Amino acid sequence: MKFKKIIAMLCIASLMVTSFAACKSDGNSDDLNASNGGISIQDASGSGNTSGSTDQNGGTADGTSGGTTQQSGTPVSVPGDPTINYGSSMLNNIPTEKASANISTTYFTADEEYFYYVSNDDEAIYKVKIDGSGSPQKLCDDKVSTVDINSEGLLEFTTNKEEGMDSNFFTMDKNGKNRVDNNQMVLDYFGPTEFKGEDGKFYANLGENDGKDKNGIYVYDQSGVTDNATLVFEGLIDSFCLVDDYIVASITGSTGNGIYRCKLDGSGMAKVFDAQAYRICTVGDMIYFINQSDSNYIYQMSSQTVKDAN
C-alpha cells in the first residue's frame, strides 16, 4: 500500500538531477520493493576496485572505477546528525559490481527480468533485460521524472519535471501499451512507500512533513496509521528496502553517504557500501542501486552477503 505526499520524492529527484532518483514486500505482485519504489546475484566478478576512503566527517569514497569492489573494513563516520551513534564498523566482504545491463540513469525500477529506467539522453522510459542481453526498448516519448511498478504490476510514472511545474501521473503496461492518464498531479500522489516486515509490522521513511520531529525510518502496527510510529533508523534516508529481518538503506547528505544495514529493531547498524548511492531496491536475492560515485551506473550486490556479513 502507498500513502503518498510530495516533498520526499521531489527532494530525491532534485538531488539526482542536480548532481549528474523494495526488498520483499507482501503487497507487490512482482516481489518488488522500492522506497519512494526493487533484484538474484551470482558471484560478483569483473575488474576494477574501490580505493577510496571515508574521513571522520563522512566524506564520500573516491576512486570507484567499476567492476567488482570490496569494502576495506575501515571505521566510518555516522550519517545524519553526528551526535547519533550508528556504530563505527564497516562490514567486510560485501562485493559489489556494475550490473550487466550497463545502465547509467537518474531513476529506475525492476522486476525479475527487466530494468525500467529513465534514459539520460531523452528522459523517456526504456526497459532492458537485467542480464544485459538484447537491446533496450523504448516504452514512451514523455520526459519522465520517476518510474515505479505498482501493486497491480503496472508501470507508474510522472512527467514534466521542469522547475515550478506539477508532474502528471500516468500508468501503463510494462510493454508501453494501454497508457492511462490518472488525472492526478504529483502533489496528490507521491510520498513515503511503506513495506511490511517479517514481523508483521509496517516500515516507512517519514519526516517533518509527516508530523515527525526527526527524519528516518519508522515502524508501526497498522498500515497507513503512523501517529504512534517508532523511529528505528534516524537520518536523511534516500531510499530503503527490507531484506528478511534487515533494513537496508541509502543515506545522502553533507555528513554521510553510503548504504547501511541494521535489524528491524534498529540494532546492529553498520555500513555496507562506502559511496553515494541512490534508489536502492531489491528483487529476489539481489540488491540494486544507483552508484553516483561511478557516473550513476546501476550497481548490484547480493542480499545474502549483506545479511551474512559481520
pLDDT > 50? residue 41: no
Residue 16, φ and ψ in degrees, nearest 5: -70, -40
Q: What confidence score (pLDDT) does residue 20 get?
A: 37
Lowest mean pLDDT among 103-107, 182-186, 287-291: 182-186
Cell of 235: 537520518
Where helices occur in the chain by DSSP H, the ranges are 7-19, 186-189, 303-308
Cell of 43: 558471484
pLDDT (tens digit, 9 = 90+) per residue, 145-172?
Answer: 899 999 899 999 988 756 555 568 899 9
Q: CA 304, CA 256: separation in Å to the nearest integer?
A: 25
Mean pLDDT of the chain: 74
Residue 190, φ and ψ in degrees, nearest 5: -85, 150
Q: What angle do CA 27, 28, 33 make, to 5 degrees?
A: 105
pLDDT > 80? residue 73: no
Q: CA 162, CA 37: separation in Å to the nearest integer?
A: 21
Q: CA 276, CA 110: separation in Å to the nearest integer?
A: 20
The domain locations on the chain are 7-308
Lowest mean pLDDT among 71-75, 192-196, 204-208: 71-75
pLDDT > 80? residue 231: yes
Between 124 and 78, name the one with better pLDDT: 124
Q: CA 46, CA 216: separation in Å to the nearest integer?
A: 35
Q: What confidence score (pLDDT) does residue 251 get?
A: 84
Q: CA 163, CA 166: separation in Å to the nearest integer?
A: 9
Q: What is the pTM of this model?
A: 0.72
Q: What confidence score (pLDDT) does residue 44 get?
A: 28
Where helices occur in 99-241 by DSSP H, the ranges are 186-189
Q: What confidence score (pLDDT) does residue 201 get?
A: 97
Distances (CA, A) of 66 to 80, 135, 272: 27, 21, 17
Q: SS3 letters for 64-117?
A: CCCCCECCCCCCCCCCCCCCCCCCCCECCCCCEEECCCCCEEEEEEECCCEEEE
